[in-house]
Amino acid sequence: MSRKQAREGAMKLLYQMESNDDFSDNEMRVFLENFPFDEKEEKYIIESINTIKENLEDIDSHIKQNLESWSIHRLAKVDLAALRISIYEILYRKDIPTEVSINEAIEIVKKYSNNDSFKFINGVLGGFVKNINEKK
């Protein structure tokens, strides 16, 4: 299993869902029917997307709190999807180290977004982690 491939799949599915404004199970089913993933990758994608959908308001509120002079609606959809996945992993997946979640988000936006997005993503996630660590 490649968790990197599973994360990229989750990002692509979140991107598609956000673009189509359709977060339905049918949208996920169609996506998974059209892209080959092994069983463990598909399991990660389904679990992550379902948890993100169930906690979207909370996850997005964390993103909004760490945007300086930006609106969440102005974010590139790839960047937004990468942030949602990383925050999901940090909050809900204790088996994945925080540093790994941040690094993987940065790698995804380096591959799929514009050249400077990784700096922005690193700043937002750094602020998020700092805020949650202060609350502990």
DSSP code string of 33-44: HHS---HHHHHH
The domain in which residue 59 lies consists of 4-135
Which tens digit of pLDDT belongs to each residue from 7-42? 999 999 999 999 999 999 999 999 999 998 999 999
Whose tokens are 């991107």? That residue is 15
- Number of structural domains in the chain: 1
pLDDT of residue 134: 84
Residue pLDDT, tens place only, 52-65: 999 999 999 999 99
What's the pLDDT score for residue 123? Answer: 94
CATH of the domain at 58: 1.10.940.10
Q: pTM of this prediction?
A: 0.94
